[in-house]
Structure 1
């Protein structure tokens, strides 16, 4: 199925399906509020039927913006946005700890009939202005399939420490808050995903039971308000992410359906890890956006037919 791509220079990239439905908008213009940890994000993200599956600046967490790369605890800085968790004191407004991710350019931008691939260069900047890391980000929109009612977004990161000291990656859980290991690539769902159903490749279902677990993929499905229909969003790891020989640190799912709908590919849920000066790490992820209430079998079959 063909796609149409538009680029408003300095602002965003938009992808439309053949019928004109905008299925992805990737926004990289500078975000005006430093407390929200300015960084590029994907919103709105929509199914082929036009149903929105991302939330933007919800009243409970204004710094949640669609699908975005984050780092909640990084060597004393907050690249997640908003309040900072401090053990024994809870969440505090500490704007002096909130960093940002600066868009530097698109060295690769390629559009085919049914595929968009672009690479983005970014710099992670701590609150005082020091440049801490260089990121090479890759996004690919592909497998736009009207018959299947689904399309896929691949999102990769390669991060290099450009400080003269190690970068220590953690989460609120590593700082002392139980089962709050959020960090890494994060999705915030719209309000009608609240109370939705989460399930994984095997084992228990439900966000509470899946919190802090591991696995190759996790899916989240809901029935929408306003329209009669369901949507499913699937979060999948590339195989090397789960390989202890290739991944810098093991990943766990951070997932909630209540009080807010969110999923993160947490790379530092229970334990911190360090990235030495000059060293890099990389992860690859896949997000599938589908119409309908998919079950475990359908998700598994679809992912098997979409090799890396």
Structure 2
């Protein structure tokens, strides 16, 4: 049975969702001040029902990593990820904002709150560093299945992106730009520092601390692993938390095959990468879409627990 939620919308800034006295998430759509970090909406903090923090914000190794956010490391020569992530091999570590794009929040075209569910539709514009409008996005975010008996709640994130330029948009990643195997693009999660060297598991992968399981899953196509999970023990107490990421079935028919970007060491990071190994083009006026689910749970889930949850919580 779902537990009631409370939604607090600070207009022009953020949306807070609480339940059982715990702030489960903040969806922040007011842009952060530094253009170098590719200003765009993000979700931070993300917390379990027991209050375990499972997202990181502006870590000192990658200031543009902000909880859960949609990003694009390499898009027609521009970087909608942040930093110099899309520079490519041999470009060096240079702080330059002349190729870092941004995502402008335009409006919420739909906003629905019931006792135990939030659903909103956001309209955004992707703009290159000079301010030209390149893409229009319709983003839908839903918070649901806040279930104390399961010790978990779910967030669904879907996107529909249309090319508004008069020429094709070329979607790639840091890997396609030459920085193997960093296929950074798509929906991206950065975990908190105490999740470093945590367990990673997926279909056929029982879980293993640190690099081993993450290395096995890095670059794995979604057609072979529709979900993965990340679990770790928190600092200062003896509790564990799990974050599970899943592709909706229809993603298999989208514009391009997706692959997993997974790191546990030296930092916790997962991306549902839509252009890991090769670029794809979106012609003018054309569009594509993807839908994802993120499950935030208390405890250290194993593979069977993750698969049972997904089997009983259908799309």
TM-score of the alignment, normalized to the shorter chain, above 0.5? yes
Partner of 1:6: 8
Alpha-carbon separation, structure 1, partners of 2:66 and 2:174: 19
* 1:203 positional shift: 3.9
Partner of 2:40: 39
Partner of 2:242: 232
* 1:208 positional shift: 1.3
Alpha-carbon separation, structure 2, partners of 1:202 and 1:167: 36
* 1:86 positional shift: 2.2
**CA distance 1:4–1:204, shift in 2 (3 Å):** closer
Per-residue deviation, residues 241-269 of structure 1 (Å, max 9, x unmatched) = 12xxx210000000000111000000000
**CA distance 1:91–1:268, shift in 2 (3 Å):** farther
Alpha-carbon separation, structure 2, partners of 1:4 and 1:203: 37
Whether the 8 Å CA contact 2:206–2:303 is kept in 1: the answer is: no
Partner of 2:228: 218
TM-score (norm 1): 0.97
Secondary structure at the counterpart of residue 310 of structure 2: helix
**CA distance 1:203–1:229, shift in 2 (3 Å):** closer
Alpha-carbon separation, structure 2, partners of 1:174 and 1:134: 24
Q: Given the alignment, which residue of 93, 96, 102 partners 2:95?
A: 93
Secondary structure at the counterpart of residue 153 of structure 1: strand
Alpha-carbon separation, structure 2, partners of 1:30 and 1:110: 23
Gaps (5+ residues) in structure 1?
Answer: none
Per-residue deviation, residues 14-35 of structure 1 (Å, max 9, x unmatched) = 0011x21010100001221100
Q: Given the alignment, which residue of 289, 305, 309 partners 1:302?
A: 309
* 1:91 positional shift: 4.2
Whether the 8 Å CA contact 1:132–1:163 is kept in 2: the answer is: yes
Alpha-carbon separation, structure 1, partners of 2:92 and 2:232: 31
The alignment covers a number of residue pairs equal to 304
Per-residue deviation, residues 271-294 of structure 1 (Å, max 9, x unmatched) = 000000000000000000000000
Whether the 8 Å CA contact 1:204–1:210 is kept in 2: the answer is: no
Partner of 1:73: 74
> After the TM superposition, which parts of structure 1 deviate over 4 Å for at least 4 consecutive aligned residues?
none
Whether the 8 Å CA contact 1:37–1:82 is kept in 2: the answer is: yes
Alpha-carbon separation, structure 2, partners of 1:268 and 1:49: 35
Q: Given the alignment, which residue of 170, 181, 189 partners 1:168?
A: 170
**2:275 counterpart of 1:268:** yes
Per-residue deviation, residues 26-69 of structure 1 (Å, max 9, x unmatched) = 00012211000000000001000001100000011111000000
